[in-house]
Chain A
Amino acid sequence: MTQSPAPSPVDGVEPAARASGLTKLYGAGEAAVRALDHVSVDFLRGEFTAVMGPSGSGKSTLMHCLAALDTVTEGDVVIGGTSLAGMSDKALTTLRRDQVGFVFQSFNLVPTLTARENILLPLAIAGREPDETWYDTVITAVGLADRLDHRPAELSGGQQQRVASARALVSRPSIVFADEPTGNLDSVASAEVLSFLRRSVDEFDQTVVMVTHDPLAAAYTDRVIFLADGRVVDELRHPTSDSVLARMAAIQSEAMSAPPAAPEG
């Protein structure tokens, strides 16, 4: 049995997704932008993780690479025990469909389909029948049972994001990525979406990774990873909004005083 790409049961908890030595360059030569710089990070099963960092620090890039939406320049991504390196487009599509859930900041839903059809879309595409009990659980948790026959245009932004989250979960993926899912929402709507994600981790043992700029949102998670200049610069467990805020301020000032230095390992 080879060691690195396979899940490591040594810790007792195997990671739902793992990035090892992930580097992403945009462009080439002098003008190349190093969006990710040797990022190695594990996302453990049943954990709710927040990714934070200044604008342009590489958060979205990391999400895209982890979710098999983008190719990496160097390093490897493992999802649910499968390495993405060298996979064909077709295989990547299938992997996305079956193993990954995704929630974008906006435009998450197909406008011509109802909420229900949107939620069931990944399963329908795969030609799979939904697991009835799981589907009912998700629908109940998302709290939109009476709006399921509405089209996206007839739903509020918060409701749309909850539908998108339900869609991300309905196929029981190995991991759900959410890039600023509450970025366009007010505090009440944000709270609804975040509570739903929290419940899906606590009650249904799902794995969720979420990019956010909001310390209040980060406080819903189990663990915060801080990115700066494409590198993981810090990590915080059991965050509160105050501790997150303090850590962000620290990173900000460090970045001001000594720009491209990696503080700790």
Chain B
Amino acid sequence: MLRVTWRNLFARKLRLLLSAFAIVLGVAFVAGSLVFTDTIDRAFDDIVSGSVSDVTVRFDGATTDENGGLIPDARSMPASLVDELAAQPGVARADGTVEGVGLFVIDSDGKLVGGQGAPTLAFNYNDAPSITGEPAVTVVEGEEPQGRDEVLLDERTAENAGYEVGDTVRMVTAGTVPELEAELVGIAEFGGGGLAGASLVLFDTPTAQQIFLGGSDVFDSIALTAEPGVSQDGLAASAEQVLPDGIEAATGDVVAAETEELVGTVLDFLNIFLLIFAAVALVVGTFLIINTFSILVAQRSRELALLRALGASRRQVTRSVLLEALVIGVVGSTLGLVLGFGLAIALRTLFGNFGLDLSGTPLVFQWTTGAIGYAVGIVVTLIAAYLPARRASRIAPVAAMRDDIALPESSLRRRMIVGVALTLLGAGMMAAGLVGEGNTGASMVGIGVLGVLLGVALMSPVLGRPVLQGLGAAYRAVFGTVGTLARENTLRNPRRTAATASALMIGLALVTTMSVLGASINKSIEVAVQEEFTTDYLVSSPTFQPFSTGIAERIRDIDGVGEVVQQQSLGSEIDGDGSFINAADGGAVAEVYDIPVVTGTLDVRRGGIAVSEQKADSLGVAVGDTVTLTFPAGDQEAEVQGVYEQSNILNDALVPLSTLAAAQIPRQDSVVSVNAAEGTSPDELGTALDDVVADLPIVTVQNQEDFTEAQRASVNTLLYLIYALLGLAIVIAVLGIVNTLALSVIERTREVGLLRAVGLSRRQLRRMVRLEAIAIAVLGAVLGIVMGLVFGVVLQQALADQGITDLAVPIWQLVLFVVVAAVVGVLAAVLPARRAAKLDVLRAITTE
């Protein structure tokens, strides 16, 4: 039996390659995602170990909010503490650190460097070593910065911004001074290697204190270095002795672990995001393999029957087919791993464009990646081949004697029952997931969607019939006999046609879902913006960075400016519930925005808070109740003074600016709303505003139209990224069509010969194959789009209270998908059709 298997494999190299290709792509995606995220992981590990000191003396309390965003913290420690710590036993040196937040370098063209992705890290320069023993930062060119007018940059940033040593570097800050200039006196190198795209900006200590800490001789934290032989814990214990309340000594290991956990959350998200697409590719690939093996088994049924007649047991037949699958799995996985490495390089480049520059870190290929790649590839292939293999073993030995062999097929009725059950189960999971919360809810929706897709795929031989018959009627009317032949070919094996179409269906169902969701999000934004965006202009940062309040001051100085309302957004917790809060003068907000108040007022006084209706419901609070707000510097009680209807302007809650001061959070602006004064046209004001922000690239001035456009653009960017990733599933589906058609043509060699003998021209033959391919592709497209519409509508309805309030169906886009599917069909038919047309008539007729 083994020899028979080998013979078969080599006799069908092309088919082997085609079916292996699905596995190659699926495994490549899995491996590529893993390699890429491992590489990011390594890059951040290096950064952490290259920058964390033996012990960090810092303020108690969370320094990050729930989503990993930094909350600015205005608390500082006196320089005297540095000296005290340096005098403690076991301390080799103590260095005060100034961590600048909200500073950006402006390149020589006046644009922000970075901003979108990796952060800009601004520090006071010193040569304190990290836990690796090497200084965290070394000056590799030029000299150390001294005084107000000197600055260091890392090499990549200097290069990207077009600055050389000696040039004047422009910067913007979120502090009281919005703009800053300094001479680039040197280039700094980061001890940990690459910076993953982050920018490094270094000043001398007094200058950093001047910019970020209001000029007092204080620090944000203190880095301690241990004397030789002193452990981190020992060092921390020694430091604790002189630390006042509210300040702690955290060991390097603890800080590193915290940072890694933070990075890990983001990485996990990225990994899951990428692996979902790998899973989609593999599911689609499974269809392709099932189909290929079904056809191969059908074609070999006479041979298998002969083996059975000669005494091979059922198990031997099954095993011989599974062995073939195993070889395909191994070959496919190996190629997939190689390709995955290439994919990781592509991902690195792609993410590099979004600001995550990993060129400083070599790609990390862990043995687990290889193991997972092989496991996934082989298991998927074996599962996919199992059904056809089992069917092969059921061939009766007597079939060898018969002329036309019909393989035992499971009845369509049983398939329908299983399909309906699976669909209902999936729908139930989706429904449960949509009411559920967070990650479990999302994964239940995912599994539900998969269940529905597979259920419909099972039912597709029946569901697809009307589509195929409709198309067939059109074919017959337009293409006559060739059309009839093509129609009959698609109907002669409904399972095969449907399975081939199902692969495309899955891809297009997901694409359609995304496009319906995307269109709905865009429409919802548009509606919300039209309803809520009632000021003439909005000044905000395109990268969601807070900016200096100095900008609002300058705006107030413009002639013809009316109301100017400043808002600062931040993440916090209300009664332990993660919330998105806005701090502003509530009275001013109520004046320029038309936000319906349910009870109480928006004009919250000191120690008060107004919350959205939704938040009030979920917290179970009403006007007059007291809630607890959590900030890094400590908790604050706040009295609920108002409840307002859900609003994109205010989000979950509104607090007065005094609350920020009490929480020691430095004042910055997130959004500034501007109205024109009476007698000034908005256009005039717009021009004046543009002038003010012209040399402040950190902010943009937008009216309603610009704002909608910008929002739409960012939704579309994400959508295109998802389309590109789903494109992989569609490529596999197209390969499936090529494969099925090629195998069908081989299977029908005699018939093709006969048709040619009775006068069918090559052209007509090619057209026949092409029409068959188009029918399969259009069937997949129609089923997929219908399902995608259902998913899209259901998701929109379910997410209506999360802000996707309006449904939009991009009809033309869907029509385009069908047209593209037809074109894809034409392309998929090129090779099989050529192959059919090339067949030698006589050989074809006399073939066995």
**Residues in A lying within 8 Å of B, measured CB to CB:** 64, 67, 69-70, 89-90, 93-94, 96-98, 102, 104, 107-113, 117, 121-122, 124-127, 153, 167
Compute how far the CA of A121 lies from the CA of B760 in the bound complex, rounded to whole angstroms.
9
> Which of A69, A89, A112 meets B488, CB within 8 Å?
A112
- Among B725-759, those with CB < 8 Å from A are 750-751, 754-759
Point out the residues of chain B lying under 8 angstroms from A96, CB to CB. 757-759
Point out the residues of chain B lying under 8 angstroms from A122, CB to CB. 758-759
CB of B837 to closest CB in A, whole Å: 10
Compute how far the CA of A190 lies from the CA of B484 in the bound complex, rounded to whole angstroms.
32
For residue B762, CB closer than 8 A to chain A, the reply is yes
Compute how far the CA of A112 lies from the CA of B748 in the bound complex, rounded to whole angstroms.
11
Point out the residues of chain A lying under 8 angstroms from B758, CB to CB. 96-97, 102, 121-122, 125, 167
- 9 cross-chain CB contacts under 8 A: A104-B757, A104-B845, A107-B751, A109-B754, A110-B755, A117-B484, A122-B758, A125-B755, A125-B759
Residue of A nearest to B750 (CB): A107
CB of A209 to closest CB in B, whole Å: 16
CB of A245 to closest CB in B, whole Å: 29
Residue of A nearest to B847 (CB): A107
For residue B12, CB closer than 8 A to chain A, the reply is no
Q: Are A112 and B485 in contact (CB-based, < 8 A)?
A: yes
Q: Are A127 and B480 in contact (CB-based, < 8 A)?
A: yes
Point out the residues of chain A lying under 8 angstroms from B762, CB to CB. 89-90, 93
Tell me whether A93 and B760 are in contact in the complex, defined as CB-CB below 8 angstroms, given that A107-B750, A110-B755 are known contacts.
Answer: yes
For residue B359, CB closer than 8 A to chain A, the reply is no
* B 352-366 binary contact with A (CB < 8 Å = 1; else 0): 000000000000000
> Which of B404, B482, B484 meets A113, CB within 8 Å?
B484
Compute how far the CA of A153 lies from the CA of B403 in the bound complex, rounded to whole angstroms.
11
For residue B492, CB closer than 8 A to chain A, the reply is yes
Compute how far the CA of A110 lies from the CA of B481 in the bound complex, rounded to whole angstroms.
12
Q: Are B759 and A110 in contact (CB-based, < 8 A)?
A: no
For residue B309, CB closer than 8 A to chain A, the reply is no
Q: Are A107 and B754 in contact (CB-based, < 8 A)?
A: yes
Compute how far the CA of A94 lies from the CA of B758 in the bound complex, rounded to whole angstroms.
9
CB of A181 to closest CB in B, whole Å: 14
Compute how far the CA of A125 lies from the CA of B482 in the bound complex, rounded to whole angstroms.
7
CB of B249 to closest CB in A, whole Å: 82
Q: Are A102 and B757 in contact (CB-based, < 8 A)?
A: yes
Q: Are A126 and B485 in contact (CB-based, < 8 A)?
A: no
Compute how far the CA of A153 lies from the CA of B750 in the bound complex, rounded to whole angstroms.
16
Residue of B nearest to A113 (CB): B488
* B 489-517 binary contact with A (CB < 8 Å = 1; else 0): 10110000000000000000000000000
Given contacts A96-B758, A126-B759, 5 further A-B contacts (CB under 8 A): A93-B760, A96-B759, A108-B754, A110-B751, A112-B492
CB of A123 to closest CB in B, whole Å: 9
> Which of B481, B489, B754 meets A124, CB within 8 Å?
B481
Compute how far the CA of A64 lies from the CA of B842 in the bound complex, rounded to whole angstroms.
8
Q: Are B485 and A113 in contact (CB-based, < 8 A)?
A: yes
CB of B839 to closest CB in A, whole Å: 12
Q: Are A69 and B757 in contact (CB-based, < 8 A)?
A: yes
CB of B427 to closest CB in A, whole Å: 36
Point out the residues of chain B lying under 8 angstroms from A64, CB to CB. 842
> Which of A70, A98, A113 meets B759, CB within 8 Å?
A98
* B 757-780 binary contact with A (CB < 8 Å = 1; else 0): 111111010000000000000000
Q: Are B755 and A93 in contact (CB-based, < 8 A)?
A: no
> Which of B480, B492, B761, B845 meets A93, CB within 8 Å?
B761
Q: Are B759 and A94 in contact (CB-based, < 8 A)?
A: yes
- Among B475-489, those with CB < 8 Å from A are 480-482, 484-485, 488-489
Q: Are B764 and A125 in contact (CB-based, < 8 A)?
A: yes
* Shortest beta-carbon contacts, A-B, top 3: A97-B759, A112-B488, A124-B481
CB of A68 to closest CB in B, whole Å: 9
Compute how far the CA of A196 lies from the CA of B339 in the bound complex, rounded to whole angstroms.
64
Compute how far the CA of A69 lies from the CA of B760 in the bound complex, rounded to whole angstroms.
13
For residue B255, CB closer than 8 A to chain A, the reply is no
Compute how far the CA of A150 lies from the CA of B492 in the bound complex, rounded to whole angstroms.
15
Point out the residues of chain B lying under 8 angstroms from A70, CB to CB. 842
Residue of A nearest to B751 (CB): A110
Point out the residues of chain B lying under 8 angstroms from A113, CB to CB. 484-485, 488
Compute how far the CA of A248 lies from the CA of B841 in the bound complex, rounded to whole angstroms.
32
Point out the residues of chain A lying under 8 angstroms from B480, CB to CB. 124, 127
CB of B418 to closest CB in A, whole Å: 28
Tell me whether A111 and B845 are in contact in the complex, defined as CB-CB below 8 angstroms, given that A98-B759, A153-B404 are known contacts.
Answer: no
Q: Are B761 and A90 in contact (CB-based, < 8 A)?
A: yes
Q: Are B761 and A110 in contact (CB-based, < 8 A)?
A: no
Point out the residues of chain B lying under 8 angstroms from A69, CB to CB. 757, 841-842, 845
